[in-house]
């Protein structure tokens, strides 16, 4: 089937699993510079990792296999395949397979191969999930947009400054944890990023060596 992008497939999957009570996170990258999972979903104590591609093959299976140590359920989601042994291949690899069929007015998702349950998994994928993963990026996007540590820091800084207008940069850094070697380097880098516009929405006020932060807009 032509015309559907990975984002369309991901969107269909999200709608489908949400109907069954799964809480969905998109474009999740647990480690800086590491792999990014298209969809991570949580329901109760279970975590489900789903990789989306337009076609079934080794590429998407390799992506899914990466999460088999970190998710109770792991699946791929693609358009249907004419390869008859595709469901068996997925089952042999311990990966579920969701297929998307797009009609004139409806999109249908079918579970062609169920994902086997893994009871003992490593916690790193679940531990990295934050609320911003739900809406920051669209699953399957081709631009590589994802919630990086820097993007997370921008959101966190703006939220804190809005909550405490006039907060001293020194106090803000002391009250939070950022990935810098020292508080001094954190303050210098954050001030530089705000001044250059790389952290928008925040205004700097300097009084000698004291730096205070204000939101650009009043709330």
pLDDT tens by residue, 70-93: 999 999 999 988 888 999 999 999
CATH architecture of the domain formed by 6-134: 3-Layer(aba) Sandwich (3.40)
156-181: pLDDT as tens digits: 899 899 999 999 999 998 887 677 77
Please tell me the distance from the alpha carbon of residue 194 to that of residue 216, in angstroms, as a whole number: 11
Whole-model pTM: value is 0.80
Domain extents for the chain? 6-134, 149-215
CA 182 to chain centre: 28
Q: With 80 as the cut, is the pLDDT of residue 2 above it? A: no
The continuous run of DSSP H or E covering 17 comes out as helix 6-18
Quick: pLDDT tens for 103-140. Answer: 666 788 999 999 999 999 999 999 999 999 999 999 99
DSSP state letter for 116: P
Other beta carbons within 10 Å of 141: 16
Token pair listed for 34: 């590491």
């Amino acid at each position: 089937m032509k015309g559907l992008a990975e984002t369309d497939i991901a969107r269909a999957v999200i709608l489908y699993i949400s109907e069954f009570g799964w809480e969905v996170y998109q474009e999740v990258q647990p480690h800086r510079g590491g792999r990014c999972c298209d969809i991570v979903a949580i329901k109760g104590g279970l975590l489900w990792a789903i990789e989306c591609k337009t076609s079934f093959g080794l590429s998407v299976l390799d992506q899914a296999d990466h999460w088999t140590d970190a998710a109770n359920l792991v699946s791929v989601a693609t358009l249907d395949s004419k390869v008859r042994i595709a469901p068996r291949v997925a089952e042999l690899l311990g990966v579920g397979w969701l297929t998307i069929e797009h009609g004139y007015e409806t999109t249908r998702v079918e579970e062609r191969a169920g994902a086997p349950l893994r009871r003992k998994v490593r916690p790193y994928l679940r531990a990295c999930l934050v609320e911003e993963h739900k809406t920051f990026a669209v699953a399957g996007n081709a631009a590589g947009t994802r919630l990086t540590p820097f993007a997370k820091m921008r959101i966190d800084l703006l939220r804190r400054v809005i909550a405490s207008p006039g907060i001293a940069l020194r106090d803000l850094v002391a009250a939070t944890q950022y990935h810098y070697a020292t508080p001094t380097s954190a303050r210098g880098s954050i001030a530089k990023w705000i001044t250059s516009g790389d952290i928008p929405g925040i205004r700097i006020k300097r009084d000698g060596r004291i730096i205070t932060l204000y939101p650009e807009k009043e709330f």
